[in-house]
Amino acid sequence: MSADAKNWFSATELSLLGEQLVAGLPKTMSGCIRRAKKEDWLLREVKGRGGPGGVLTEYQPPASVMVLIQSYLLANPEFFAKSKTRTRSDLAKVSKEVFGDAPLRITQNLNHEYDAALRRVAEATQATVRISKQFGGSLPVEWTSLIQELMAIHGLTEAGAMQVIEALKRQT
């Protein structure tokens, strides 16, 4: 590692790295804190850095994780500078590029199709949890994601979902 390499990271910084799929880090601050505690990472408190009570906790990942982080930061030297300067208008531009005017159409939709879609997703999520429990909670994530999508978007019933899972189990 170079002398100027960053060795200590806040949970926020670790989660930003996780969002970029760096070193298998969690994508949330709480997930990063849990992992650091579970794996007994070194930590330090830095005063006056904006954390609760003016104290920010920073973590030093183990060498195996640090190598992956440093490799990513070497290839993306402005990574943390960019993440701090993103504004709402920047995010709106990205949203427009990705989704076009779909969010605007949704908010203007008088038929409440968006609310109905959210209800279908929530119902599909609950159904997927029930189905997973019937199989001992051991269904692969990709199966539950598929079932959820089929239920929310294509109207698959719970009985139909059970048939799909049985078919998937026979194929493995």
What per-residue confidence (pLDDT) applies to 31? 92
What per-residue confidence (pLDDT) applies to 137? 73
- Helix count (H) and strand count (E) of the chain? 9, 3
CB 72 within 8 A of CB 21: no
What per-residue confidence (pLDDT) applies to 151? 80
Model pLDDT for residues 98-154, shown as the tens digit of each residue: 555 554 554 454 455 666 776 777 788 888 888 888 878 777 877 877 887 788 777
To 5 degrees, how large is the angle CA 110–CA 97–CA 29?
Answer: 90
Instruction: Copy the structure tokens of residue 151.
Output: 């239920």
Q: Is the dihedral of CA 74, 75, 80, 81 positive or negative?
A: positive
> Is CATH 1.10.10 the classification given to domain 9-85?
yes
Picking from 83, 90, 88, 94, the residue whose alpha carbon sits closest to that of residue 16 is: 83
What per-residue confidence (pLDDT) applies to 49? 63
Confidence of residue 85 (pLDDT cuts 50, 70, 90): very low
Specify the domain boundaries for CATH 1.10.10 within the chain: 9-85
**Distant-in-sequence, close-in-space partners of 79: CB < 8 Å, separation ≥ 6:** 16, 17, 20, 72, 73
Is the model's pLDDT at 61 over the cut of 90?
A: yes
CB 19 within 8 A of CB 27: yes
What per-residue confidence (pLDDT) applies to 114? 60
Model pLDDT for residues 2-59, shown as the tens digit of each residue: 445 688 999 989 998 988 888 889 989 999 999 999 999 999 988 866 666 778 899 9
CB 128 within 8 A of CB 144: yes
Is the model's pLDDT at 84 over the cut of 50?
A: no
